[in-house]
Amino acid sequence: MKHLFASSLLLSLCLASCQEKAKEEVTETKEPETSKVIVHEEYTGTEPTKPEETEFYEPKVPVVGPATSGKIPNDAIVLFDGSSLDAWVHSRDSTSAKWHLNGDGSMTVADKTGNIQTKQNFGDVQLHIEWRSPAEVQRDGQNRGNSGVFLNGLYEVQVLDNNDNDTYVNGQVGSIYKQRAPLAMASVPTGEWNSYDIIYHAPEFNEDGGKIKSGTMTVIHNGVLIHDHIEIKGTTPYIGWPKNPPHGKGPLLLQDHGDNSRVSYRNIWVREL
Ligand code: MG
């Protein structure tokens, strides 16, 4: 009997110890709170609520400052401010970018030097970029002031001097090239500065490389919404249909269209989302 009592006591102590250990393990494996966004639970009861019950003070929203009048949010990564091309390399051989650095805070495509891209790779971003077609008009259609802003190095938002210059609508200024015409044409006169503000979410792929979620793009051209959270079908080639190679983060790429288009860029910054 004494022996049975001792065994039971030992078993109870062991169980208690195991339970404590299990609790510790649960505590240890608890997911860290990494999300910046807190979604407050909605009230689903029928009782009337007081105003203060639906007012939340935490967590505080980060103060980043405005992105107007040439200002840049303090959490933005500056990719080009006119001082150097240090953040950029040529896409074909990763050598230093050889586009022209101008004295007015801009850079211009150097004839046939090739595309340039950021050294840093990005996934989801908010991108601000300004561009200008050369004031001296040359050629027509796709050969007039053609360049492009490629998100993830793969998905082109078309840059083109479309003023009095018709072309296919899914290749006009602001189009997702050969994939989606813009909702509106909002260019300033040729030779003046345009802005694009782009919100890009990258596509997602499974382990086998299959796309499980399309990327999306929202584009504002000179303050006008021209793409409203559209689904990206895939890459934006000149010839052929969109393809969906699996990828992770990638560079932001600016196009040298190869025909002396001489498009200029300035004030380029991104916020990682
Ligand atoms: Mg282009």
Q: What number of other Cβ atoms are within 10 A of residue 137's Cβ?
A: 15
Mean pLDDT of the region 147-159: 98
Average pLDDT over residues 23-36: 48
State in Å: Cα 170 to ligand 1 middle: 11
* Vertex 107 angle, CA 103 and 109, to 5°: 135
- Mean pLDDT, rounded, for 158-172: 98
How far, in Å, are 39, 52, 62, 111, 186 from residue 36 at the CA level? 10, 23, 10, 44, 34
Query: How far, in Å, from the CA of 177 to the mean position of ligand 1?
Result: 7
Q: Higher pLDDT residue, 20 or 91? A: 91
Which among 69, 82, 74 has a CA at the least distance from the CA of 268?
A: 82
Gap from CA of 257 to ligand 1 centroid (Å):
6
pLDDT above 90: residue 222:
yes
The pLDDT score that the predictor gives to residue 63 is: 96
- Give the per-residue pLDDT at 47: 82
Distance 255 CA to ligand 1 centre (A): 6
Ligand 1 geometric centre to CA of 153 (Å): 13
Cα(193) to centroid(ligand 1), Å: 17
Confidence of residue 203 (pLDDT cuts 50, 70, 90): very high
Instruction: Give CA separation, 27 vs 24, 84, 177, 208, in Å.
Output: 5, 50, 50, 34
User: At which residue do the structure tokens 């190869």 appear?
Assistant: 258
Q: 143 and 162 in contact (C-beta within 8 Å)?
A: no
- What's the pLDDT at 49? 86
pTM: 0.84
Ligand 1 geometric centre to CA of 110 (Å): 15
What does the alpha-carbon distance between residue 80 and residue 147 come to, in Å, rounded to a whole number? 17
How far apart (Å, rounded) are the C-alpha atoms in residues 63 and 15? 51
As a whole-number percent, the residues of the chain with pLDDT over 70 amount to 86
Look at the alpha carbons of 222, 227, 232, 235 in this order and tell me if their dihedral is positive or negative.
negative
pLDDT of residue 37: 65
E strand or H helix that includes residue 86? none
Stretch 162-184: mean pLDDT = 98
C-alpha 205 to ligand 1 mean position (Å): 26
The per-residue pLDDT for 14 is 44
Pick 26 or 116 by higher pLDDT: 116
CA dist 168 to 116, 158, 163, 180, 240, Å? 26, 12, 14, 11, 15
